[in-house]
Amino acid sequence: MARVALCTLAVALLAGCSLVPAYQRPTALLPQTFDGAARASLADTVPVRSEWWREYRDPALDALVERSLRNNFTLASAIATVEQARGNAEKAGAPQYPLLTLGGTFDRSHQGRGSTTKTQSLFAEASYEVDFWGFNAANANASELLVRASEFDRDTVALTLSASVADTYFQVQSLRRRLVIARTISDDASRILQLLLAQQVAGVATGLQVQQQRNALATFQAAVPALQQQLDTSMHALAVLVGTAPEQFTVREVPFADIVIPQPRANLPASLLETRPDIRSREAQLQSANQSVGAARAAFLPNIVLTADGGLSSKSLSHFLSSPFASIAASLAAPIFDGGALRGQLRASRAAETKDVADYRQAVVSALQDVEDSLSAAQQQQLAEAADQDAADAARKAATLAQAQYALGTVDFLTVLDVQRTLYQSEDTLVQARLARLQASVSLFRAFGGGFGITDDSDTRPAPPSMPSRS
């Protein structure tokens, strides 16, 4: 028995050799800085960090985002996926430990002339597969890394959700402002029509002028239901994002022009590898595939299984458990012919790793494009809003002058009508320009990872398993 124990200990000490290839992060062509960041000023910028939406200083938005992170069903599904992956990882890691079972039997048999035989036994069985080539460890590590990938996928869903809530909230507030403008212009047009009707009776205004104003009024009035429909649709979408039914859902109205537009600080391109949860998910999947290659290579080699059983048995209750028995054994199994199954698995694992390398690199270049697009949008929309602000200011002054001069009879009615339309279009365009700026800033926060990657290091989730070196 001592000799067997020593052999078992020697085999166990030799276990742990791994055939997993040494992992190296794929090279990615990363520029020194973003083109858009080089043209932007760092003045008045804010860092991208957790709860980035608070930079807009809008308590209503804060409450909506927090509510969505608690109640959104898509995020709840992503969280459940993480738990599912953890369960699968626990299952995949089980073969690394001994298997122990406990059982008992009671047998009663009748023989001739009323003779009865009773047999009772209580036994335990144990088995352990010595992971000499690291097959079980590689499978367990691969599953743990898939858990890590699912956690980053969950973070990506949360980041996308919070950005969608902010975008939709700003759209709701902008549509409310556009509705106010449309109704104001419509009311002004209605008053002018009444004035024209009175002037027509007095013989001052012509029928053509009246009909032209009726056309302008109808055009302004038609914009109201169209904007109201957009507002309703956006409000319904916002309700779904926060995980509630759209019926009776509403949010507090805030002055749209007073919403702060923060400028996220542009990090270096290399930082995206650590701050973007989608990139980190791709890398975790690649690391998992690397482990699977090691498992596929180890499957070609023989495995050793140690088994032991022992127990007590008796043929009578008076001597129950009085006859002990025990045995220990070791078995060696090596694949000889499997029709190419192991070779096919190795080929598939290597192809999966190659695919994950390409997916990782694609995620990196897509992230770079995302940041550049967002930087460009933030800069150009700021310029556009400034120009639209100048146009709106000029349109308001022109409208005031035109109405005053028309009352004095120094300009004709067509001039007033054109100025009205220009004023409405200018103010409506200005609101849309501000919305574009707000959404561009949201896009920048999202493009830089929204603080999810930065705060991940302080997370209580377990770190990914270390890559075992090949021995």
User: pLDDT per residue over 4-28, tens digit each?
Assistant: 444 444 444 444 577 899 999 999 8
Distance CA 376, CA 299 (A): 52
pLDDT tens digits along 278-322: 999 999 999 999 999 999 998 888 888 888 877 666 655 445 455
pLDDT for 469 beyond 90: no
Give every strand in the sheet of 116-130, ordered side by side: 99-110, 116-130, 303-314, 323-333
Residue 69's pLDDT band, with cuts at 50, 70 and 90, is very high
pLDDT of residue 326: 66
> Mean pLDDT, to the nearest integer, of 99-121?
72
pLDDT tens digits along 326-350: 677 777 777 887 788 989 999 999 9
Instruction: Find the angle CA(409)-CA(411)-CA(416) to the nearest 5 degrees.
Output: 110
Q: Check residues 3 and 359 and name the one with the higher pLDDT.
A: 359
Alpha-carbon distances of 231 from 175, 228, 283, 443, 450, rounded to whole Å:
6, 5, 40, 21, 27
Alpha-carbon distances of 12 from 129, 131, 331, 461, rounded to whole Å:
10, 8, 14, 30
Could you tell me what percent of the chain has a pLDDT over 90? 52
Distance CA 359, CA 351 (A): 12
pLDDT for 425 beyond 60: yes
Helix (H) or strand (E) holding 1, with range, is none
The letter for the amino acid at 453 is G
> Mean pLDDT, to the nearest integer, of 175-200?
89
Distance CA 69, CA 451 (A): 15
Note the pTM of the prediction, 2 decimals: 0.83
Contact of 307 with 329, CB cutoff 8 Å: yes
Rg, C-alpha atoms of the chain: 36
pLDDT of residue 115: 66
> Mean pLDDT, to the nearest integer, of 138-160?
94
pLDDT tens digits along 196-242: 898 888 887 889 888 988 998 898 899 999 999 999 999 999 999 99
> Mean pLDDT, to the nearest integer, of 364-374?
94
Distance CA 153, CA 258 (A): 35
Reduced to 3 states, what is the DSSP secondary structure of residue 418? helix
pLDDT for 155 beyond 90: yes
pLDDT of residue 119: 73
Residue 438: closest CA among 382, 386, 392, 362? 382
Residue 390's pLDDT band, with cuts at 50, 70 and 90, is very high
> Mean pLDDT, to the nearest integer, of 84-106?
86
What are the structural domains, with CATH classification, of the chain? 18-97+133-300+343-458 (1.20.1600.10)
